[in-house]
Structure 1
């Protein structure tokens, strides 16, 4: 569609020029017959010269911009000269007047050539600047540079092109950073999962071999071994479930369940389970729940997100400590705060709290029996509902804040 538009623009300019010439001739009371002859002769002669110049310009399309602009200027001069000479001969203008016209035409041509040269030089310099910037976008190490576009000489299109390259560079740089972070998370996840799989599998294997070989035969030891095998199997099952849930979130294939409940009901169910876990750990669970707006959530997914948050808070709070759950409603959202007494998280680690397999410092890592996936799953499930979850340090601990807008799915 681009070529027809360009031809249409050229034809429109020609039509406007013919109309302006006709109006000018009538304004000075030229005879209509002379006007028709003058315009026809000038149009035919100029068109022939213009077509010739256009063919030459097309063959020079791959040449530098300076050559093309000079060709355009030369074509314009030849078109004007051809039209003037042809019209002068047709109207029997004196040789003296014709020479005067050529004097004026030569001076105007000099100005046109100078402007064309400068324009071509500006376009060439701008193209070199854009090319140099494009070459610096990718460093020798393969990383994308997010530097701002330099000032560009020449037409605005080149400056716009440099701006587009800068925008693309920033997007590629951001994409590379995400890819590097994802690759780092993958390696860390594989390391953590390998560790978490190895320990319970080794325990199960050793106890199963002991039972098979008859190393233990008293009822109390056999019962203890069976109990430990079941506990480790359940731990492995939970880890596999977490990995499956996380893969659904990261692959974009997560579909919220069809069973919908009010957010206050989901919170009550999650608090009931958290209360039992807190009692076993010796942690006090304090509930400060205000009435919440009637927001429907997917029962399984939202409850699992809250279960992970509560489990994380209880697990990292020492016995005798307190976990506080506060829920309140704003004009547009339901807001939940979960505050523990874990001692706080280093500021440098706060942005990574929801990363896959992140466990923080060694003290927290040793105390973490999970695969480091719970908070990542919580974030994915809450965001799937259109909400958000954040973490910040509070007095003596950490506070997680869940915001669920009233328009949540």
Structure 2
């Protein structure tokens, strides 16, 4: 037992000496490549074994032959282990370089010219740069780097979606500014001409001019009101006052408000089945939603056409729909119908509108935790508003 304790003591002293030297070396080389650290770690492991063995052999007074055999075996093991560590380090470094090169595409940077032996990685980086997204490297790499690569790919996808939304919003903003500028220029020019005619006393019928001026002012006031409403929605400052009410009452009020315009346009408003189901909504804002949908539908439906309004319960929700006779919306335009300022080839807003009506509809509906959708039906299209049902 005493001999085993002495052997353990000598082995511990030798291994501890090598371990301390290895720790100091790792600390000094901690900013170097992982391959260097792996090589040092391997040398420490083999060196600690060799130092312990030599310490025990010296204490036991082994002959030179036995000592040489032990030293040779440890040296061969050290060379083999160090070579394996270097191969592992090279594999890890190769995966890191491929991942680093691919990650540069997240910032939209042009990938550097590939060094010899890195043609595949450079091609992947070039492909990612051309596609504007991160492409996971095909180079074999450790599980940790592979997991990081997957996370980067997911981040790249989210960034691409964010950039696409940003481009869509910017396009909508430009369209909105263009349409508003156009819609303001014409009435302002008319107002100026009529005001000058009245001022110069050359208006043959001043009363008619006054009525026209009032009509234009009301139209401009409506546009400003829409802009203010939309700004409140987008800023998240739309204050709702929910109250329990029947969908039947909402639809009846909306139809009554739109009936004069429908009569003027020669369009018939029809009740296509309205169930008296309860909802908890802000009556004023939801009436505006239905009014906007009805006005759009009336203006887009030919004379002698029909605009149908329906409401029914669907599972735990209430679905309100307005179906017009516009002939349908092109499939490519359907996803953009509710975008701010968008009108498409044929505007979905009334003449002189700024493309805000349907954007306001979506904003108010989403503020009620609902959703607004549109789809084509035979002869026209159907706008649907889905709201949570009242308990």
Where does structure 2 lack aligned partners over 5 or more consecutive residues? 111-127
Residues 296 and 259 from structure 1, CA distance in 2 versus in 1: closer, same or farther, beyond 3 angstroms?
A: closer
Which residue in 1 is equivalent to 2:55?
86
Task: Calculate the TM-score normalised by the size of structure 2.
Answer: 0.87
SS of the residue aligned with 2:278? coil
In structure 1, distance between residues paired with 2:209 and 2:262: 26
Alignment partners' CA distance in 1, 2:62 and 2:246:
94
- Whether 1:121 aligns to 2:105 is no
Other-structure match for 1:369: 352
Question: CA 1:181–1:374 in 2, change beyond 3 Å: closer, same or farther?
Answer: same
Gaps in structure 1 of 5+ consecutive residues? 1-30
Q: Contact conserved, 2:310 with 2:320, CA < 8 A, in 1? A: yes
Count matched residues: 372
Equivalences for 1:130-279 in 2 at 5 Å? 130-137=99-106, 138=108, 145-216=132-203, 221-251=205-235, 253-262=236-245, 264=247, 265-279=249-263
- Distance of 1:172 and 1:330 partners within structure 2: 36
Distance in 2, Cα, partners of 1:214 & 1:305: 44
The answer on whether the counterparts of 1:144 and 1:172 sit within 8 Å (CA) in structure 2 is: no
Whole-angstrom distance in 2 between the partners of 1:63 and 1:324 = 74
- Distance in 2 between the 1:334 and 1:92 partners? 94
Q: How big is each residue's C-alpha offset from its partner over 1:176-204, in whole Å with a ceiling of 9 and x where there is no partner? A: 11111111111111110001111111222
Question: How far apart, CA to CA, are the structure 2 residues paired with 1:172 and 1:202?
Answer: 45
Distance 1:39 1:248, change over 3 A: farther
Bigger drift between 127-136 and 144-153 goes to: 144-153
Instruction: Check if 1:402 corresponds to 2:377.
Output: no
Given the two structures, how large is their TM-score scaled by the length of structure 1?
0.83
Instruction: Return the alpha-carbon distance in structure 2 between the equivalents of residues 386 and 90 of structure 1.
Output: 82
Q: 1:369-388 alignment to 2 at 5 Å? A: 369-388=352-371
Q: Against the structure 1 CA distance between its residues 144 and 386, is the aligned structure 2 distance closer, same or farther, given a 3 Å change threshold?
A: farther
Contact kept? 1:256, 1:298, Cα under 8 Å: no
1:291-322 C-alpha deviation (Å, 9 max, x unpaired): 35432012222222221111111111122110
Which whole-Å CA distance do the structure 2 matches of 1:97 and 1:288 have between them? 103
Give the 5 Å matches for 1:67-82.
67-82=36-51
Q: In 2 relative to 1, CA 41–308 (structure 1 residues): closer, same or farther, beyond 3 Å?
A: farther
Q: Deviations over 1:89-135 (max 9, x none)?
A: 44556655544433332332233112201101101110111122123
Conservation of the 8 A alpha-carbon contact between 2:39 and 2:85: yes
Given that 2:241 and 2:282 are in contact with CA atoms closer than 8 Å, whether structure 1 keeps it comes out as yes
Corresponding residue to 1:320 among 269, 291, 304? 304
CA deviation digits over 1:357-406, x for unaligned, max 9? 21121x54796331111011111111111111111111111111111133
Q: Which residue of 1 aligns with 2:119?
A: none
Once the 2 structures are TM-superposed, how far is the Cα of residue 149 of structure 1 from its aligned partner? 1.1
Query: Segments of 4+ in structure 1 off by > 6 A?
Result: 141-144
- Seen in structure 2, the aligned counterparts of structure 1 residues 268 and 148 have a Cα distance that, compared at 3 Å, is farther
Counterpart check, 1:359 vs 2:343: yes
| Alpha-carbon distance between aligned partners in 1 of 2:160 and 2:219, rounded to the nearest angstrom | 39
Give the distance between the partners of 1:314 and 1:122, measured in 2 at CA. Answer: 68
Change (3 A) 1:349 1:381: same
- Structure 2 match to 1:57: 26
Query: Do the aligned partners of residues 297 and 34 (structure 1) sit closer, same or farther apart at CA in structure 2, a change above 3 Å counting?
Result: farther
Deviates more, 1:184-193 or 1:350-359: 350-359
Tell me the distance in 2 between the aligned counterparts of 1:99 and 1:406: 88
- Tell me if the contact between 1:321 and 1:341 (Cα under 8 Å) persists in the aligned partners: yes
